[in-house]
Amino acid sequence: MQPELSIPTSYALPQRSATRRVSRWAHGSVPLASVVVLLGAWWAVTAQPWFGPRAVLSSFTPQATFPVFVQLLSQGVLIEQGWISIRRVLLALALASIVGVTLGLALGSSRLAERTVAPALHVVRTVSPLSWMPLVIMLLGIGDLAVIFLIAIAAVWPVLFSTLGGLHQLDREWVMMARSVGAKRHQILFHVAIPAVLPQIVNGMRVAVGLAWVVLVPAEMLGVTSGLGYWLLNTRDRLAYSELMAVILAIGLIGLALDTAIRALALLLPGARR
Amino acid sequence: MVTNGVGLLEARQVWKSYVHRRRRLHVLRGIDFAIRTAEVACVIGPSGAGKSTLLRVMAGLERPDAGEVLLDGVPVVAGSPRLGVMFQSPLLLPWLRVWENVMFGARFLPSVETSREQALVVLERVRLHDLADQPVTQLSGGQAQRVALARALIRRPTFLLLDEPFNNLDMPTRRELGAAVRELALNDGVGVLLVTHDIDEALALGDRILVLAPEVGTFAREFAVPASAPARARLRDEILATLEALGTTAILT
Ligand SMILES: Nc1ncnc2c1ncn2[C@@H]1O[C@H](COP(=O)(O)OP(=O)(O)OP(=O)(O)O)[C@@H](O)[C@H]1O
Ligand SMILES: [Mg+2]
């Protein structure tokens, strides 16, 4: 039984030990370079005859995509559909956070509960969230609710296990100190345990945002008629490949924005700067 | 800070052991001990003798295997409003500022007013009011310990249990805070249990000195601290001899 969540390093919060100079450099010129690399690779794959007939690939090229992207943006389609998707992800994240933190705290405060429940949860966690699709549709029907629920299933685990892992690392002596000033169990929970594990909770939520955004696209292929995932299917069926690429571009950009936003949010939290 | 003059915190035949790697380690074996109000009782002993264990048991934070700890005749409970505890490490909460950490000491007491002003008054006593609004993460070891002391003091306890409170402090601050603790006993009638492994500190601040013998798990000797300097110097030698007889010369001076 290994309750700690191993967090992919790419998801880890920015290391504060890194010198300011290096981080400024990384935020300045490196992203620019990586944009150039990305565009170059995109162009090399689609605009050159190495990977397939030019006629087919031509609508996938950056030069074909960007005008369509701008057009979809100005028509409001991307913003409209993007907002629908973002809203679903945020609702799913809220659900996953409430359930994950509550369950994590509950399991972490009782050794018996953890011993009996946590191993089962580890089994459930390994099942791909998309495997629940048929079940979720059967229970909730096709629609927003099913999509949100599926995303939440994917997002709940990192929140739950990082909350639990945080409680494991909780300094027992803090608990003793709190008892010495007369704190009761629930007061220790609210005044010591929760603030102490807040950085881990936030870290778990960061991982959850990434997962949620990844699961969003397949979840929106579930019969709903809106959102970026649906739009992707729609463009494919209409053979509008430049639009398809524009939607993919939008998905990537919004994902990046969400990650940046939660990074910034994490730094605002009182516990995050420790 | 005024407390009523009578009071007794009393350990009766207290036994305490820990199981560590499947072996039972007997730390306290039948301790009889009492602190009265308006006195400073010093417990000294080498590292691992069980001083901190004794303090935690006296504070009601750990249950003895046998025996009992009574506060004015009633079994002591953890977090009693009449007790203030300072642990060997400061145990400050890093998400709270200095004054909020001090306030934490009274947070769960209905009787004590919890305001920033109140915290400032207590911080003044430990000469730290300038840092009231600082985050505790930037404090030095000695400053952190003073915050921890203030957190115990804000409870206005009848009994103050201090576990090596003056470690990490420079000499002047050590003297100043030592004097403040003595004053608490003399002027405010607080009963102080001062755990230390520094003989000179015990001689300077204590009314009584009890030597906790490692492995034996009881007090080897108890001494009353005399007022005159030469008599204290003789007592110092006697305590050192006691420790040597216990085979623990490692104690610092
Ligand atoms: N919670 C615990 N579990 C297991 N063993 C413990 C525990 N607390 C203390 N001990 C053991 O009990 C013995 C006494 O420890 P204690 O901390 O009371 O000594 P001490 O006199 O305060 O030493 P020091 O001067 O180093 O602080 C030590 O051998 C220690 O390892
Ligand atoms: Mg100790």
> CA A117, CA B225: separation in Å to the nearest integer?
58
Q: Which of A173, A179, A270 sits opposite B79 (nearest CB)?
A: A179
Which range, of A18-32, A97-111, B135-149, B164-178, averages the lowest pLDDT? Answer: A18-32
User: In which band, very low, low, confident or very high, does the pLDDT at B25 lie, cut at 50, 70 and 90?
Assistant: very high
Could you tell me how many CB contacts below 8 A there are between chain A and chain B?
Answer: 57
Burial label for A106, CB within 10 Å (0-12, 13-18, 19+), is middle
Which range, of A2-16, A56-70, B40-54, averages the lowest pLDDT? Answer: A2-16
Query: pLDDT for A222-266, tens place per residue?
Result: 778 899 999 999 998 988 889 999 999 999 999 989 888 888 887
Backbone phi, then psi, for B69, in 5-degree steps? -115, 125
User: In which band, very low, low, confident or very high, does the pLDDT at B192 lie, cut at 50, 70 and 90?
Assistant: very high
- The whole model's pTM is what? 0.82
Give the distance from CA A13 to its chain's centroid.
14
Query: pLDDT for B79-90, tens place per residue?
Result: 999 999 999 999
DSSP type of residue B62: S
**Residue A10 above 50 pLDDT?**
no
Query: pLDDT for A162-217, tens place per residue?
Result: 999 999 999 899 999 999 999 999 999 999 999 999 989 988 998 999 999 999 99
Average pLDDT for B26-40:
95
Does residue B17 have its Cβ closer than 6 Å to ligand 1?
Answer: no
DSSP type of residue B97: B
Q: Which residues of B touch A (CB under 8 A)?
A: 56, 59, 61, 78-81, 83, 85, 87, 89, 91, 93-95, 104-109, 137, 151, 155
Average pLDDT for B107-121:
86
Q: What angle do CA A151, A156, A159 make, to 5 degrees?
A: 135
Q: What is chain B's alpha carbon radius of gyration, rounded to the nearest angstrom?
A: 18
Would you say A124 and A153 are in contact if contact means Cβ atoms under 8 Å apart? Answer: no
User: In which band, very low, low, confident or very high, does the pLDDT at B17 lie, cut at 50, 70 and 90?
Assistant: very high
**Residue A6 above 70 pLDDT?**
no
Helix (H) or strand (E) holding B86: strand B83-86
Average pLDDT for A69-88:
92
B108/A176 CB distance under 8 A: no
Average pLDDT for B22-40:
94
> CA B218, CA B127: separation in Å to the nearest integer?
37
A-chain residues near B61 (CB < 8 A): 176, 179-180
- Structure confidence at residue A22 (pLDDT): 53
A-chain residues near B59 (CB < 8 A): 180
- Nearest CA-CA partner of A212 in A34, A89, A99: A89
Kindly report the nearest CA distance between residue A260 and chain B, in angstroms: 24
- Structure confidence at residue B44 (pLDDT): 94
Query: Where in chain A are the domains?
Result: 76-267
Probe residue for ligand 1, chosen from B16, B18, B211 as the CB with the greatest number of ligand atoms within 8 Å: B18
Query: pLDDT for B193-236, tens place per residue?
Result: 999 989 999 999 999 999 998 888 899 899 999 999 999 999 99
DSSP secondary structure string for all residues of A59-108: GGSHHHHHHHHHHHHHHTHHHHHHHHHHHHHHHHHHHHHHHHHHHHHHHH
A192/B78 CB distance under 8 A: no
B52 Cα–ligand 2 center, Å:
4
Average pLDDT for B84-100:
95
**Residue A270 above 90 pLDDT?**
no
Does residue B51 have its Cβ closer than 6 Å to ligand 1?
Answer: yes
- Structure confidence at residue A4 (pLDDT): 41
Q: Which residue has the tokens 């979720």?
A: A136
Q: Is the dihedral of CA A209, A210, A211, A214 positive or negative?
A: positive
**Residue A8 above 80 pLDDT?**
no
Q: Which fold has domain A76-267?
A: MetI-like fold (1.10.3720)
Q: What angle do CA A227, A232, A237 make, to 5 degrees?
A: 125
Query: pLDDT for B134-175, tens place per residue?
Result: 999 989 988 999 999 999 999 999 999 999 999 888 898 899
DSSP type of residue B236: H
Query: Where in chain B are the domains?
Result: 1-35+48-77, 92-157+166-189, 220-253
CB count in 10 Å sphere of residue A251:
21
Average pLDDT for B43-71:
95
Does residue B67 have its Cβ closer than 6 Å to ligand 1?
Answer: no
| Exposure of A195 in the CB half-sphere (CA atoms within 13 A) | 16
- Structure confidence at residue A3 (pLDDT): 43
Give the distance from CA B37 to its chain's centroid.
14
- Structure confidence at residue A43 (pLDDT): 87
Give the distance from CA A103 to its chain's centroid.
19
Does residue B250 have its Cβ closer than 6 Å to ligand 1?
Answer: no
B52 Cα–ligand 1 center, Å:
7
Average pLDDT for A70-74:
92
B104/A191 CB distance under 8 A: yes
User: In which band, very low, low, confident or very high, does the pLDDT at A47 lie, cut at 50, 70 and 90?
Assistant: confident
Give the distance from CA A241 to its chain's centroid.
27
Write the CATH number of the domain with boundaries B92-157+166-189: 3.40.50.300
- Nearest CA-CA partner of B239 in B251, B229, B175: B251
Tokens of B154: 């804000």
A245 Cα–ligand 1 center, Å:
65
Cβ neighbours of residue A204 closer than 8 Å, sequence gap 6 or more: A5, A100, A158, A159, A160, A161, A162, A163
Average pLDDT for B107-115:
82
User: In which band, very low, low, confident or very high, does the pLDDT at A23 lie, cut at 50, 70 and 90?
Assistant: low
Probe residue for ligand 1, chosen from B21, B23, B25, B215 as the CB with the greatest number of ligand atoms within 8 Å: B25
Cα–Cα distance list, B4 to A215, A267, A272, B41, B100 (Å): 66, 49, 44, 18, 28
**Mean pLDDT (chain A, rounded):** 84
A-chain residues near B108 (CB < 8 A): 181-184, 187
- Structure confidence at residue A227 (pLDDT): 93
User: In which band, very low, low, confident or very high, does the pLDDT at A24 lie, cut at 50, 70 and 90?
Assistant: low
Q: Which carries the bigger pLDDT value, residue B248 or residue B53?
A: B53
Tokens of A41: 């690779």
A-chain residues near B79 (CB < 8 A): 179-183
Cα–Cα distance list, B232 to A81, A253, B181, B183 (Å): 84, 77, 20, 20
> CA B122, CA B119: separation in Å to the nearest integer?
5
**Residue B131 above 50 pLDDT?**
yes
